[in-house]
């Protein structure tokens, strides 16, 4: 695939580019950049979700216990259940391979390790992993994958004529091996991105294993919150577990708050301000969004492991439980908790984070995301229908709270049976210079049509 | 080129405007937003639009027009800006020096000035302000093209003139 050419102005781990071919409605997204805040917008069934699903497919593959499968299409326990390769191939055409490329900035310690492995003259400030999986008799087969960094590339490719895998390197001596490679024939790759064990053991140094580990650590830093969230509960059981995230349906948000309390996870609200417990910080955000005036998680009885979320709607109102206020609080809670709970440098995928929220709170949600990005180096990728969220984001760009280059906004559309991705050109003044028709509803046309109708119906009666 | 009164009328907030006139203003704004809206790059027109927004009409034609206009501010095909230079007597250098226009409303001069400075002769749209009607001959003589959106009001002004 074509190399990415995006420059990111930051050192912290982040996905900087993506390209997907022959996946669901996408024939080819072409390479597109991802920024600290990436927004996917568009009509229903325009392929927004599939872009997130590809990342989740790679994530669950990297976390799968089965090292022999090319891709883990998932089940009811994984973030996505995609069925089979044939189900996800563009137009179900199994003569094409599913292809993808992910470009990212590795963590600083990983960059140092890779530089140690390969030599300090090699540029490892960004890595790209490109891969292809196609349909074979025995099931999905990894056709190829390759890691690129600077001017170097190392990959693994299947030759259907010879029915063998071979190693490809640029330059040819990029990695030294202790014995000739390819005799006996090389074995199958690990999943769709890992060199087989024998290659790793023949190679001098750890570079093959470290490239794979770097990709796996990127995938493990990916967190996902789905569009449908659990109903609030009167009480939550928590026995001391430390969840990795808030759960796909946000069902672990309260557990995460308690886990954060137990290990004293603190958030710094700004220079010269006292660091706050996550719980307090989340409460402050809920207050700033005018949702509530107090929020507290309390154990029902000491040692009971049962917890309740107590809320004051207004300073004067009665103390009630999470179940007894509107849906909004319980729906936004997982979003805020996730953004401030996951380790710094994580990538958070949010599907319709605005769901069930009042327009003013949807706008405020943009501020929550900007705060997580600026304060904690989180990368946020959202799929959203919220005009209010976008407008607040544009305003914050104009106010210089976030740079326009730190946002990447896309409009997904469906044309002639395939999806099309258009990047919205965002200026530093917070304007979008290629605002697509139908990006959001047409409020002016609604208002004009209303006025027209009023004139037609009531003018003579005046 | 839209005088603010067209926006306010489109909201139904000009008491003298009958309903067909309100609808005509709404249609004019809808058409303008799809074509080109002219503004001064000093932000005087935009500021006047903003000042005349009414919070009681958040989904009205004016507010939605304003939001759409704001979205188009960075789009040169939809929103063009020209510079105005100050002038002590005429308010703007670009406003014609003509004794027949000495009484023309000073706050409305920016619209005529932008239209003239644009070199594209955009129509200046007006709905309920009779000042444009009274000065139409002098304005036209100086190259300002006007469009009166509400024929009912024009008829009224004509009657008043005849009377």
pLDDT in tens, A339-394: 999 999 999 999 999 999 999 999 999 999 999 999 999 999 999 999 999 999 99
Q: Which residues contact A101 (CB under 8 A, 6 or more apart)?
A: A1, A4, A17, A18, A19, A31, A128, A129, A130, A131
Rounded to whole angstroms, the Cα distance separating A52 from A74 reads 14
Of all residues in chain A, the percent with pLDDT exceeding 70 is 97
Compute the distance between CA of residue A329 and CA of residue A261 in angstroms, rounded to an integer: 20
pLDDT class of A461 with cuts at 50, 70, 90: low
- Which pLDDT score is estimated for A8? 40
Rg (CA), chain A: 25
Q: Which residue has the higher pLDDT, A300 or A10?
A: A300
Q: Is B23 on the interface with A (CB under 8 A)?
A: yes
Cα–Cα distances (Å) from A229 to A105, A301, A328, A337, in that order, read 31, 27, 11, 14
User: Residues A396, A398, A404, A406: what is their CA dihedral angle, to the nearest 10 degrees?
Assistant: -30
Phi, psi of A194 (to 5 degrees): -115, 140
Show the CA angle centred on residue A158, arms to residues A153 and A163, nearest 5°: 150
Q: Give pLDDT < 50 ranges for chain B.
A: none
pLDDT tens across B15-62, in order? Answer: 999 999 999 999 999 999 999 999 999 999 999 999 999 888 888 899
> How high is the mean pLDDT of chain A?
92
- Give the pTM: 0.88
Predicted pLDDT of residue A1 = 35
Rounded Cα distance, A329 and A232, in Å: 9
Query: Is A448 close to B68, i.e. CB distance below 8 A?
Result: no
Domain ranges of chain A: 1-221+345-462, 229-342
Name, in order, each residue with C-beta under 8 angstroms of B4's C-beta and a sequence gap of 6 or more.
B45, B48, B49, B52
Nearest to A431 among B27, B33, B73 (CB): B73
A271 vs A172, which has greater pLDDT? A172
Give the pLDDT mean for A69-95: 95
Q: How far is CA A232 from the centre of its chain?
A: 25
CA distances for A230 relative to A108, A169, A211, A254, angstroms: 37, 48, 37, 12
Distance CA A363, CA A372 (A): 15
ipTM: 0.87
| Shortest CA gap A417–chain B (Å) | 28
Residue B163's pLDDT is 60
Distance CA A266, CA A284 (A): 13
**Could you tell me which CATH number the domain at A1-221+345-462 has?**
3.40.50
Whole-number pLDDT of residue A119: 83
Interface probe, candidates A428, A451, A452, A462, chain B, greatest B C-beta count within 10 A: A451
A190: left (phi over 0), alpha (psi -120 to 50) or beta: beta
Supply the pLDDT for residue B71. Answer: 83
Residue A439: is its pLDDT beyond 80?
no
pLDDT value of position A7: 34
- B residues 2-21 near A, CB within 8 Å? 10, 12, 18-20
């Amino acid at each position: 695939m074509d190399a990415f050419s995006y420059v990111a102005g930051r050192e912290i781990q982040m996905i900087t580019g993506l390209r997907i071919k022959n996946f669901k409605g996408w024939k080819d997204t072409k390479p597109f950049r991802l920024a600290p805040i990436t927004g996917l917008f568009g009509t229903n069934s325009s392929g927004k979700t599939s872009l997130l699903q590809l990342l989740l497919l790679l994530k669950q593959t990297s976390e799968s216990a089965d090292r022999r499968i090319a891709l883990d299409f998932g089940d009811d326990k994984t973030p996505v259940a995609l069925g089979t390769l044939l189900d996800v191939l563009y137009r179900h055409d199994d003569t094409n391979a599913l292809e993808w490329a992910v470009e990212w900035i590795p963590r600083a310690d990983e960059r140092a390790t890779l530089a140690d492995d390969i030599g300090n003259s090699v540029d490892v400030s960004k890595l790209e992993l490109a891969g292809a999986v196609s349909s074979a008799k025995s099931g999905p087969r990894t056709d190829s994958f390759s890691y690129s960094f600077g001017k170097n590339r190392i990959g693994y490719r299947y030759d259907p004529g010879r029915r063998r895998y071979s190693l490809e390197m640029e330059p040819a001596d990029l990695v030294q091996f202790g014995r000739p490679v390819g005799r006996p024939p090389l074995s199958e790759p690990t999943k769709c991105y890992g060199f087989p064990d024998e290659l790793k053991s023949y190679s001098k140094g750890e570079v093959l294993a470290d490239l794979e580990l770097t990709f796996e650590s990127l995938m493990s830093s990916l967190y996902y919150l789905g569009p449908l969230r659990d109903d609030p509960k009167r009480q939550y059981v928590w026995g001391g577990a430390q969840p990795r995230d808030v759960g796909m349906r946000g069902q672990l948000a309260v557990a995460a708050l308690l886990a954060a309390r137990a290990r004293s996870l603190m958030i710094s609200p700004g220079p010269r301000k006292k660091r706050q417990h996550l719980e307090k910080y989340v409460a402050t955000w809920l207050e700033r969004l005018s949702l509530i005036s107090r929020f507290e998680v309390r154990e029902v009885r000491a040692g009971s492991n049962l917890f309740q979320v107590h809320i004051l709607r207004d300073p004067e109102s009665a103390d009630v439980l999470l179940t007894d206020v509107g849906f909004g609080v319980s729906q936004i809670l997982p979003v805020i908790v996730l953004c401030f709970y996951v380790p710094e440098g994580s990538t958070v995928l949010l599907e319709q984070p605005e769901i069930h929220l009042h327009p003013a709170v949807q706008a405020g949600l943009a501020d929550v995301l900007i705060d997580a990005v600026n304060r904690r180096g989180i990368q946020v990728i959202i799929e959203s229908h919220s005009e209010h969220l976008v407008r607040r984001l544009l305003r914050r760009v104009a106010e210089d709270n976030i740079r326009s280059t730190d946002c990447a906004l896309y409009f997904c559309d469906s044309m002639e049976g395939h999806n099309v991705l258009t990047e919205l050109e965002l200026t530093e003044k917070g304007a979008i210079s290629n605002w697509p028709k139908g990006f959001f509803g047409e409020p002016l046309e609604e208002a004009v049509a209303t006025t027209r109708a009023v004139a037609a119906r009531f003018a003579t009666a005046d | 080129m839209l005088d603010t009164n067209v926006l306010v009328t489109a909201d139904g907030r000009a008491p003298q405007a009958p309903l067909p006139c309100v609808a005509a203003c709404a249609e004019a704004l809808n058409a303008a937003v799809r074509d080109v809206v002219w503004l001064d790059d000093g932000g005087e027109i935009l500021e006047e639009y903003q000042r005349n927004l009414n919070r009681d009409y958040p989904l009205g034609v004016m507010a939605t027009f304003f939001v759409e206009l704001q979205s188009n501010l960075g789009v040169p095909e939809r929103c063009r800006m020209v510079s105005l230079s100050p002038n002590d007597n005429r308010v703007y250098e670009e406003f014609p020096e003509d004794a027949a226009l000495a009484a023309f409303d000073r706050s409305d001069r920016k619209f005529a000035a932008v239209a003239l400075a644009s070199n594209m002769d955009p129509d200046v749209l007006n709905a309920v302000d009779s000042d444009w009607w009274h000065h139409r001959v002098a304005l036209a003589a100086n190259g300002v093209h006007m469009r009166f959106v509400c024929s009912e009001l024009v008829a009224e002004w004509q009657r008043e003139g005849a009377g």
